Each structure stands twice: as C-alpha cells, then as structure tokens.
C-alpha cells in the first residue's frame, strides 16, 4: 500500500504520497459556489461548517495530482463525516493507479474534536481502526496486521487533526503539541502559530493565519495557511526541509 511515511499531519499527507505541489496556471480560477443550506442546528457562525474543497498540486513545476476534502454532517447530532480523496494525474497515474481515500468519523464536544473511527484504502490495501475512549485504546488493523494502541488524551487521526486545528485557531487556543495516529503508531507533533498574512489565491485575496508543524525529531516543517473568513478552511501548505521547498499545494475551489 502506498501510504506515505506519515511524518507530517493534516491535509498535505496524502499528497506527500504522490509527491505533489501547486495549481496549474492554465486552469481558470473557479468561482465559489453558492452557500449550501445549513443542516439543522448548524448556524453560519458554527465551526466546523460543512464544506467541500478542491486542490491541485505540482512537484518541481510538474502537475502530479489533485485532492478533494469534504466535511459533512453525519446522521447523528454533533457528528461529522470527513472524506479526503487524492488522485494522481498524468504519468504519475501509471504508478498510483488507485485513488487514496481516507475517511474519519468524529464528534465535536465542547469545541473539542473526538474522533470515533478512521478508514483508509488504496486499491486492495487498507487501514481501519476505531477509537474506544472508554478503554483508552484504538483497535483495528493496518496492512492486514492487528492494531491496538494506547490513546494519550486528545489523540487525533490523520483527518480529524485538521478539524481540531481549525477549531483551536477559531478559539485562540492552539496547543503546542498533538498526538496523532500515523498508520500503526502514535506520534507527537509540535504546532506553532507563526503570524498572519494576506494571500493571493484562486478564490481572491484572503487574510490567512500561518501555522507551522513538525514531528518530534524531524527536520521537515509543514506550514499551513488557514482563512478565518472561510471558517479556517486550509488554503495552502508548503513543506520544507532544511529551508528547501519539497512541495506545496493550493486551493482551487470551495463550496459551502
């Protein structure tokens, strides 16, 4: 299974598996779609609000993939279903012929994200586990092998962590560290808010908050740009190693 070596969390991880970067200049900017009707009990100021976003990426100026995020209200109150689909394009499709599909089911309790289950698949390979918060363990399987991990308080999966950061930025209380289940281990990541900047995007000029993340012991840094006016939806990310850009990804369209 071509899941990446998950040394960076959040929405860029799947694209790292495809070694990807930014949108094609030849593609016209997409117009934001009209806002979707709110689900019962979900107001315009609520976070997280349902959304779907499309990203395009390049590596060394070569367009190699697309990525789509979709956050939906689940059937049960206070629960969400988050899906992330990553597809290779061009010659990279010859190597990565199957889409990488990741899903997370989560709850938001008192502005805190609590993941309940995570699923990922690429072709015939899969990772699947459930969070048992009563026992403090995550159990399931990864690449056909049993998985049983002790859960530090606040542990996230590779998708729920994004929603957790969005909520923490909104509330102004981003923690300095997170624990994230990465395939078959719980890893620790540091997070630091680096400032704010106006960013030119396919959606227009957006005011963004910059967050830097690093796995403990790694020399790679992931910088992410979140847009407060869009409910802190991620707009852009760049990963560097020893101050050299490895890849970046930028948003092309957003529907609310």
Give me the chain's average pLDDT, please: 81
SS3 percent helix, strand, coil of the chain, rounded to 5, is 10, 55, 35
Q: Which residue has the tokens 């409910």?
A: 231
The better pLDDT of the pair 18, 83 is held by 83
Q: Residue 117: is its pLDDT beyond 50?
A: yes
Mean per-residue pLDDT, 204-216: 96
Residues counted in the chain: 256
Candidate from 34-38, 89-93, 201-205, 224-228 with smallest mean pLDDT: 34-38
User: For the chain, what are the domain ranges?
Assistant: 10-255
- How confident is the model over 149-166, as pLDDT tens digits? 999 999 999 999 999 999
Q: Structure tokens of 214?
A: 């690093």
Closest CA to 229 of 194, 205, 202, 200: 205
Q: Residue 176: is its pLDDT beyond 60?
A: yes
Mean per-residue pLDDT, 212-230: 94
What pLDDT was estimated at residue 61? 67
Confidence of residue 63 (pLDDT cuts 50, 70, 90): confident
Q: Give per-residue burial for 10-41: e unless 16+ CB within 10 Å, then b.
A: bbbbbbbbbbbbbbeeeeeeeeeeeeeeeeee
What pLDDT was estimated at residue 124? 82
Rounded (5°) CA angle 78-82-88: 175
Confidence of residue 39 (pLDDT cuts 50, 70, 90): very low
**Helical H segments across 107-216, by residue range:** 160-171
pTM exceeds 0.75, yes or no: yes
The better pLDDT of the pair 2, 121 is held by 121
φ/ψ of 27, rounded to 5, equals -85, 125
Q: Structure tokens of 30?
A: 């997409």
What pLDDT was estimated at residue 227? 97
Distances (CA, A) of 155 to 58, 76, 94, 113: 31, 22, 36, 9
Strand-pairing partners, residue 117, are 105, 130
């Amino acid at each position: 299974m071509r899941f990446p070596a998950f040394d960076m969390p959040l929405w860029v991880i799947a694209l790292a598996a495809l070694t990807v970067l930014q949108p094609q200049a030849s593609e016209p900017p997409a117009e934001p779609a009209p806002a979707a009707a709110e689900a019962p009990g979900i107001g315009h100021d609520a976070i997280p609000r349902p959304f779907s976003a499309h990203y395009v990426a390049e590596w060394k100026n070569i367009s190699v993939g697309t990525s789509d995020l979709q956050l939906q209200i689940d059937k049960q109150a206070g629960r969400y279903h988050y899906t992330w689909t990553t597809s290779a394009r061009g010659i990279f499709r010859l190597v990565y012929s199957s889409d990488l599909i990741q899903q997370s089911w989560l709850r938001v309790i008192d502005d805190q994200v609590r993941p309940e289950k995570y699923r990922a698949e690429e072709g015939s390979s899969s990772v699947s586990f459930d969070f048992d918060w009563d026992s403090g363990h995550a159990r399931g399987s990864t690449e056909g092998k049993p998985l049983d991990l002790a859960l530090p308080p606040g542990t996230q999966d590779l998708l729920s962590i994004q929603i957790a950061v969005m909520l923490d930025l909104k509330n102004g209380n981003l923690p300095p560290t997170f624990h994230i289940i990465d395939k078959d281990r719980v890893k620790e990541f540091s997070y630091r808010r680096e400032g704010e900047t106006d960013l030119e995007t396919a959606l227009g000029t957006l005011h963004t908050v910059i967050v830097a993340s690093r796995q403990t012991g790694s020399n790679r840094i992931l910088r992410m740009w979140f847009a407060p006016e869009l409910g802190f939806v991620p707009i852009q990310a760049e990963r560097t190693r020893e101050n050299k850009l490895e890849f970046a990804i930028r948003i092309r369209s957003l529907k609310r």
